[in-house]
Structure 1
Amino acid sequence: MDKEEIIEHLRAAKTAHIKWVQKAKLLINGIEIEKDAIPVNSTECKFGKWFYSDGQVLNALSNNPMECMNSIEQLHFELHDIYMHIFNIYFSKPEGGFLSKLFGKKKEVTEIDAQRAQTYFANMEEVSKKLLDEINRLERRILAIPEERIKELM
């Protein structure tokens, strides 16, 4: 992988993260979103898939301390932990009979639950901003590495 490909993949992962957050926002704003459209597990979203595959090659770069990748990973975990609360508000198992459980009727969300979801989302946005700052920092570090050095390591 060359420098251009590394940056391209990083930017695609960043864009995937932004879209994931936007889908959560649509959900709490009342837009019908499929349960699986916003992965709860941090290794199942597009950003997580990049981070635990192509993203791991960045650990070999001397200009990228492990602490940057650790920070990104922790923030990413935190985001998914927060989203799990939102997911449980909107998609927890519905009460009712066999047929409503079988067909997966979406849970009715009370006004109090909707307010809780808004609070969780505000927290999610703060963590997302920190994550994006770290991703941008990582991108700057990669851009500062000479192409020859990247070729040596890859």
Structure 2
Amino acid sequence: MKKDEILEFLNNVKAAHTKWIDRADNIIKGIDIEDKATPVDATECAFGKWFYGDGQKLNVLSNVPLQCMQEMESTHTSFHKSYLTIYDIYFSSKKGGFLSSFFKGQKELSPEEKMLVEEKYKEMQELSKKLVDEIDRLDRRITAISDERIEAL
């Protein structure tokens, strides 16, 4: 592991979470998203793969408390659950027969679904901000550690 690569990766993660918010917003607005196969599981996205792989090596660093990593994990998982709820409402439970698959357009939501989507979208925005804040803290902690100590992990 190299310090500059970790810091660059974490910076990219913050940008990626902005894209997740945009993707959810596009779903809600009825704009066809380019990749319906977007990973909705927190362990399948780039950050999740890193977090449960190389990211775990950071746990041995004295200035990266376990609570920091647990908070990031919890927030990241909750973020994905909120996105999954929105995704499922629009794609997994699409009603209609065979011909409905030929016509694009936004599914008509029930009032309950609309309320749930609004709630989950707001939740996603809050969780994204919280996750970015946690990543910023981790970034500062990693910056304070020598390159040699990071490479020794």
Give the letter for the 2:63 counterpart. N
TM-score (norm 1): 0.82
Structure 2 counterpart of 1:15: 15
Gaps of 5+ in 1: none
Task: List runs of 5+ in structure 2 lacking aligned partners.
Answer: none
What's the CA shift for 1:126?
Answer: 0.7
TM superposition score normalised by structure 2: 0.83
Which amino acid in 1 is paired with 2:37?
A: D
Give the equivalent residue in structure 1 for 2:142. 142
Distance 2:41 2:103 in 1: 20
Aligned equivalents of 1:29, 1:138: Cα separation in 2? 34
Q: What's the CA shift for 1:106?
A: 7.1
Query: Is 1:35 aligned with 2:36?
Result: yes
Q: Aligned pair in 2 of structure 1 residues 128, 20: CA closer, same or farther (>3 Å)? A: same
Whole-angstrom CA distance in 2 between matches of 1:103 and 1:59: 50
Q: Give the Cα–Cα distance (whole angstroms) in 2 for the partners of residues 30 and 67 of structure 1.
A: 39
Q: Look up the match of 2:108.
A: 109
- Aligned ranges 1:4-153 → 2 under 5 Å: 4-33=4-33, 34-37=35-38, 39-97=39-97, 99-100=98-99, 108-110=107-109, 112=111, 113-151=113-151, 153=152
Conserved? CA contact 1:94–1:106, under 8 Å: no
Q: CA deviation at 1:104?
A: 9.9
Equivalent position of 1:2 in the other structure: 2
Q: Deviations over 1:128-153 (max 9, x none)?
A: 111110000000011111223223x3
RMSD over aligned Cα, in angstroms? Answer: 2.4
* Range moving further from structure 2, 61-70 or 111-120: 111-120
Give 1:25 shift: 1.7
Shift in CA distance, 107/22, structure 1 to aligned 2, threshold 3 Å: closer
Is residue 72–residue 131 contact of structure 2 (8 Å, CA) maintained in 1?
yes
Which structure is higher in RCO with an 8 Å CA cutoff and minimum separation 6?
2
In the alignment, the residues of structure 2 paired with residue 139 and residue 53 of structure 1 have an alpha-carbon distance, to the nearest angstrom, of 17
Give the superposition deviation at 1:15. Answer: 2.3
Number of residue pairs matched? 151
